[in-house]
C-alpha cells in the first residue's frame, strides 16, 4: 500500500514538472504580462499601485496606470534597461535582464490598453 501511494505521488510530481516546463517555454503575450506583473509586484508594489484601481502605498509614488499615461512605454523600457529611474526617493536602483524588461513592458502596454479602453 505504502509503495502504491509513493508512486502515485511521484507521478503527480512528474506531471506537475512537465506542466511547468511547457508553460515556461511557450510564453505567449499573456504569460509575459503575468510575469511582468509578478516582477513589478516583487519590486515596486510596496510603493506603487500596479493595476487599474487602488491607491499607491507610498503617497508620493504615482500609480503605474498614471505613469503609462504620462510616458511612452518605450521610455520606461530604456530607463529600466539602463538602471536609471529618476526621482526615486527611498529606493534602491534597479537593473533588469532583457527578458524581465520585455515582460514588464508587455504588462505596462496591456495596462495602458486597458486604461485607454475605459
Ligand atoms: C520605496 C518606494 C518605491 C519603490 C519600491 C518604487 N518606487 Fe517608483 N517611485 C517612488 C516615488 C516616491 C516616486 C515619485 C517620485 C517623485 O515624484 O519625486 C516614484 C516614481 C516612479 C516613476 C515616475 C518617475 C517620474 O519621473 O515621474 C516611475 C516610472 C517609477 N517610479 C517606476 C518604478 C518601478 C518600475 C519600480 C519597481 C521596479 C518602482 N518605481 C519602485 C517610490 C518607489
Q: Whole-angstrom Cα distance, residue 52 to residue 47?
A: 15
Q: Which atom of ligand 1 is nearest to the CA of 96?
A: 38
Above 70 in pLDDT, residue 37?
Answer: yes
pLDDT for position 21: 47
Handedness of CA 24, 25, 26, 30 (dihedral sign): positive
Cell of 77: 523600457
Rounded distance from Cα 14 to ligand 1 centre (Å): 41
Cell of 17: 514538472
Pocket-testing residue among 87, 94, 96, 106, ligand 1, by greatest number of atoms within 8 A of Cβ: 87
Site of grid cell 505596462: 108
Residue 33: what are its φ and ψ, rounded to 5°? -60, -40
Q: Whole-angstrom Cα distance, residue 103 to residue 31?
A: 8
Site of grid cell 508512486: 7
Average pLDDT (99-104) is 95
Ranking 4-8, 34-38, 50-54, 112-116 by mean pLDDT, the lowest is 4-8
Amino acid at each position: 500500500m505504502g509503495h502504491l501511494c509513493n508512486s502515485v505521488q511521484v507521478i503527480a510530481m512528474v506531471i506537475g514538472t512537465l506542466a511547468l516546463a511547457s508553460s515556461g517555454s511557450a510564453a505567449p503575450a499573456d504569460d509575459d504580462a503575468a510575469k511582468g506583473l509578478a516582477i513589478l509586484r516583487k519590486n515596486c508594489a510596496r510603493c506603487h499601485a500596479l493595476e487599474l484601481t487602488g491607491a499607491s502605498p507610498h503617497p508620493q509614488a504615482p500609480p503605474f496606470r498614471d505613469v503609462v499615461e504620462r510616458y511612452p512605454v518605450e521610455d520606461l523600457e530604456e530607463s529600466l534597461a539602463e538602471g536609471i529611474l529618476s526621482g526615486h526617493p527611498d529606493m534602491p536602483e534597479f537593473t533588469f535582464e532583457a527578458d524581465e524588461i520585455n515582460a514588464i513592458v508587455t504588462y505596462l502596454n496591456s495596462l495602458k490598453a486597458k486604461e485607454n479602453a475605459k
